[in-house]
Structure 1
Amino acid sequence: MQDAQQALKVGRDPRMLPEFDALRAEINKLSHASRPDVDWMLVHDMATTIFEKQGVDLQTAIYFTLARSRLAGLTGFTESCEFLANLIVTQWDNFWPPVHQERARIEMLDWFIARISEVVRQYAISHEHKRLVYRCERALQLMSEKLHNSGLSRIPRVENLLHFVEGYTHLFDETEIVIVSDDQELKKQDMQIPPMVFFHSDMEPGATVQSGGSSGSGQAALPAGSILIGREKGQMKPTVLKIEAHKKQKPAWFWFVSGLLTCVLPVAAITGWQYWQEQKADALALLQQPAYALPTAPDHNDIRRVRIVLGEQKLQGMEGELINRYQAQLEQVKNASPFYLYQYGNGLKNVMQQLYPDSLAVKEMERQWQIALERQQGDEPKTLGYEQARARVNDTLQQLLELERQRRTVTISYLKSKLYDMQKDLMSDVPFGIRLRELEARKIKSQSLTPAELRAMEDELRSFNIRLYRLQQGNSAS
């Protein structure tokens, strides 16, 4: 029976894992304007992989819960509620995000309540589901009680979901259901864990659901890959979210080597401390760039180094300062000329997204930045004066040719030569906007653009910038 279990530990920050990036890519589809379909099975699998590799954290657990509720219906929602209750009630001080980041925890739970409420309202709940509904109610009650007693500045809106579930319990015949354990040796704190919860491999073909008690003389084996959570009457104690058992005792040679290393620690500590301070100063300088400078924004490798050197706690403490600093830099870019380095502004925005992906202030910063780009881009010019002039010249030439064939006057040849000269001048100096529009039309038709053409356009645009700058300087001097 022990082999059928999968004991999980409390996890750390999962945001640097590739599985978490894939998971977030699917979750972000929920807020996409085109509302693409979310692959909930992929979300479920990626979350399970993160649990196995990194342990259980609040963010991944919420995504796992949402996927489970989508895939397994009311049963999955029930298991998910008790899963979150286990995590919040028994491991409040241990899981990620840490306790001091209460705003991040509150925002995660509020986001979850808003999303899961939409899912629960779609369930067709009847009298046959009363046992599942009572289990949901109990888990949500424990969760709400823990949140109210945790000293939070604002309580997540768990009561909204709890009241919705309680509305179904009033429709059932029973006025009260009490779940009692026969094990009198269980500690009082163990009784706070919601009973009868485990996730099984029912996503795989041939997997069977096992949620009842033991049969015969022994307990039925759980499917391979099961995650046991909580307990049912007569079942074993919960194993999920427990810190794993004592590690193996270190061998004698380990302590011998440790003693040798201790001898050189005083010297190595000073050198290491100096090196660490230099790395910390470099990391801070990389993030705290002055708002009036235009450096290259930190890239992904720089962000990884900053996380390693400063640590997650230091970064979270700097959130307000960094957001204000980077906001000032974005304001400078928005007020610059239309030929400004937009890539630099995008780099600043990406830094904040990597450091604080769940921050509402960062999301608002990104929204304002996109609005500014759209405003500065403007609409495509509607003027077609050059094309109209060229068409009129061609029409005039055709008329003159017709008059010449009729030999009506001698001055027609003279006018014809003049119009030819006009057409030649027009073709020799095509306006910049016309040539740019022609290149755009070629790109739409998937025709290749040579580097020489693009370089020539860039040089001409740079020339326009210099001329405009000199005009502005002349007006200022006068």
Structure 2
Amino acid sequence: RAQSGRQQQVFTDTSSLNTVAGKRPQVKGRGGVIMAGIVTGALLTLLGTFVLSCFQQRSVVDDMLVSTQPLPALVTTATAENHLTELTASRPLILEKYRQKLETILAQSPVESMRAGFEMVSLLEDIYPGNTVTRAWYKQVEQLSSQGTVPGYEQAKEKLQLLMDELLNNERQHRTVTISYLKSAIYDIQRCLSETEPLSYQLTSIEQSLRKGQQPSRADLQKVDDQLKGIQARYLQALQTLKSTHIPDSYQDENK
């Protein structure tokens, strides 16, 4: 009986070992499945990140290109007349939207379009340093800025002031000047004024021609257009210089 008990005990112990050994392959199988899942998840994550990155890059490129598109063109009168029924039905909505847009145009600075140009070339220079587009832009702006000046007018003012000071000084000292001297001084002033006419004077001349039924020349109109752009360029550069210095908050609020 003692020997039978020992055999039964040995058999029981061996059965227990066999049971544990039989479970080991199942554990190894589960571990392989878990590792495969982890690897697959990591690969999917990397793939998703790559696809998202490509999508974001395309979106940035699209945004860059969209900003170069021209504004939508206005509907022509002929097109509008062919759809009067639809337009009449939407009259309140259209009038309100146009009113808001027109108020925005009046509220904007006259240099808003040129400001957008400066922002675009600044962005290009940050992304593509030394690119030819940026260099060409600044060269054209510099040329326009020079056309927005009237050095002859400024010189004429200085010469006129000098002449007045000289005449007053001669009057105090009871000295006289000759007519030929005055003619020479006045001629010099007129010469300076004729070199570059102020923009307002050019516009006045064009308006007078139109009232007389005369068409201004294309060269005169182009001259005014170039000077307007030049003044805008100079004004915007002055604003940028002003913003780079300390500006009171109240002044900044007024110019927003």
TM-score by length of 1: 0.21
Which structure's residues are more often helix, by fraction? 2
Q: Which has the larger radius of gyration?
A: 2
- Which gives a bigger RCO, structure 1 or 2 (Cα 8 Å, sep 6+)? 2
